[in-house]
């Protein structure tokens, strides 16, 4: 299953959880309140921790619910099983609706702008048909809440595969790429039977840091100025099942109210301090890149106000023009604060 997501820790999750498990006994509760794709949440759950995952945006919450809370294929009683639902998703007819008009290459955006090439016209219409069908199932209570999340999770993952973008949904490519010309398709997903008791919620760290009850918190905040709410607007719209105004040439949903302070050079340090002041957990682990909005000295000075700080690092093969480790790779940092 592939996630196209800025700062996705899939490749680093084993290392991160390995470092955490040297300090926090397996079986304890660990929170991942900026969970994104939930890759670290899942790795923690697989290692035997009970995980509380959260994110400020809606679509990461859907990923986390499906990856943590669904431990085997749901019954989908009305369909006669999970595999039948996949066939049903495949067979839903296209419909020329909101996605077709706002995000398809033959659309006509409501604000009069040129068609947006996020998807082929065919895929955009398929997405419209599928969204409407999923919403109807939920409305008629033919599916339960987790089944509903699973259908949206599948739609988001399949949409990612045919999106005509280079990495994020900040803008679309000028010509339809090979992937974008493929028909959107669905396949059964794999579920992990993990031992812990997990929970998932949608909240900003500012809202719920003080309420988190866990032995440790893993923080993975944005470290560049790229706002997730704007760069993944289409996934947020799929998760929220709404039809917001699509603004400007790029058709972004209004996102400024969801802007993260961690993305602003002038607010990021304060955001770290506010978060750490509110957390009550004895241990805090933080992933942060060497080239983030807050420089290393400032970061260390903030962290050391809250406890004893140790740094763990791993070289990581990610394209960057600077900050390379000796072997040519970037150094990924994991800070550990053992609170006073």
Ligand X SMILES: C[S@@+](CC[C@H](N)C(=O)[O-])C[C@H]1O[C@@H](n2cnc3c(N)ncnc32)[C@H](O)[C@@H]1O
What one-character DSSP code corresponds to residue 2? -
Six-digit token string for 209? 């840091």
CA distance 49 to 120: 42
Q: Which of 17, 24, 47, 60 binds ligand X (CB under 6 A)?
A: 60
Nearer to ligand X, 3 or 88 (CB): 3
Closest CA to 115 of 96, 142, 137: 96
Instruction: Decide: is 118 part of the binding site for ligand X (CB under 6 A).
Output: no
CA distance 255 to 232: 10
Instruction: Decide: is 170 part of the binding site for ligand X (CB under 6 A).
Output: no
Q: Which of 57, 85, 151, 238 binds ligand X (CB under 6 A)?
A: 57
Segment lying near ligand X (by CB under 6 A), choices 112-120, 204-212, 244-252, 306-314: 204-212
CA 71 to chain CA mean position, Å: 19
Instruction: Decide: is 199 part of the binding site for ligand X (CB under 6 A).
Output: no
Helix (H, G, I), strand (E, B) or coil at 133: helix
Nearer to ligand X, 205 or 238 (CB): 205
Q: C-alpha angle 100/104/107, rounded to 5°?
A: 70
Instruction: Decide: is 9 part of the binding site for ligand X (CB under 6 A).
Output: yes
φ, ψ (nearest 5 deg) of residue 194:
-105, 150
CA distance 278 to 208: 9
Residues 6+ apart with CB under 8 A from 232: 5, 57, 59, 168, 169
Please state the closest distance from residue 327 (CB atom) to ligand X, in A: 23
Instruction: Show the site string, 253-292: x = touches ligand X by CB under 6 A, - = not.
Output: -------x-x------------------------------
Segment lying near ligand X (by CB under 6 A), choices 28-36, 133-141, 240-248, 276-284: 28-36
Token pair 């660990």: residue: 30
Nearer to ligand X, 113 or 226 (CB): 226
Instruction: Decide: is 55 part of the binding site for ligand X (CB under 6 A).
Output: yes
Segment lying near ligand X (by CB under 6 A), choices 31-39, 64-72, 84-92, 172-180: 31-39
Please state the closest distance from residue 305 (CB atom) to ligand X, in A: 20
What one-character DSSP code corresponds to residue 324? B
Instruction: Decide: is 231 part of the binding site for ligand X (CB under 6 A).
Output: no
Segment lying near ligand X (by CB under 6 A), choices 2-10, 70-78, 93-101, 318-326: 2-10
φ, ψ (nearest 5 deg) of residue 13:
-65, -35
Instruction: Decide: is 34 part of the binding site for ligand X (CB under 6 A).
Output: yes
Six-digit token string for 262? 């961690």
Strand partners, 54: 201
Q: Which of 124, 151, 156, 205 binds ligand X (CB under 6 A)?
A: 205
Q: Which residues bind ligand X (CB under 6 A)?
A: 5, 7-9, 33-37, 39-40, 55-57, 60, 204-206, 220-222, 228, 260, 262
């Amino acid at each position: 299953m592939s996630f196209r997501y800025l700062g996705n820790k899939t490749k680093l999750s084993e290392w991160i959880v390995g470092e955490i498990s040297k300090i926090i006994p397996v079986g304890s509760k660990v929170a991942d309140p900026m969970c994104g794709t939930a890759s670290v949440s899942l790795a923690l759950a697989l290692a035997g921790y009970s995980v509380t995952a959260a994110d400020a945006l809606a679509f990461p919450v859907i990923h986390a619910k499906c990856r943590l809370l669904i431990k085997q294929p749901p019954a989908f009683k009305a369909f006669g099983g999970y595999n039948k639902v996949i066939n049903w998703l495949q067979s839903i007819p296209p419909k020329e609706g909101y996605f077709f008009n706002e995000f398809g290459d033959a659309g006509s955006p409501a604000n009069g702008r040129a068609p947006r090439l996020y998807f082929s016209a065919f895929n955009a219409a398929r997405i419209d048909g599928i969204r409407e069908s999923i919403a109807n199932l939920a409305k008629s209570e033919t599916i339960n809440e987790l089944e509903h999340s699973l259908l949206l999770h599948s739609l988001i993952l399949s949409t990612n595969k045919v999106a005509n973008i280079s990495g994020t949904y900040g803008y679309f490519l000028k010509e339809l790429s090979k992937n974008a010309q493929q028909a959107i398709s669905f396949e059964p997903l794999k579920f992990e039977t993990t031992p812990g008791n997990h929970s998932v919620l949608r909240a900003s760290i500012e809202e719920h840091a003080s309420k988190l009850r866990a032995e440790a918190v893993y923080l993975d905040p944005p470290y560049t100025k790229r706002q997730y709410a704007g760069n993944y607007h289409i996934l947020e719209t799929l998760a929220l099942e709404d039809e917001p105004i699509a603004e400007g040439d790029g058709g972004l949903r209004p996102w400024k109210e969801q802007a993260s302070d961690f993305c602003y050079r002038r607010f990021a340090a304060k955001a770290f301090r506010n978060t750490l002041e509110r957390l009550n957990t004895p241990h805090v682990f933080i992933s942060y890149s060497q080239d983030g909005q807050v420089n290393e000295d400032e970061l260390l000075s903030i962290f050391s106000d809250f406890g004893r700080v140790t740094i763990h690092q791993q070289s990581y093969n990610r394209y960057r023009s600077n900050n390379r480790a000796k072997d040519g790779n970037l150094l990924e940092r994991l800070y550990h604060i053992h609170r006073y």
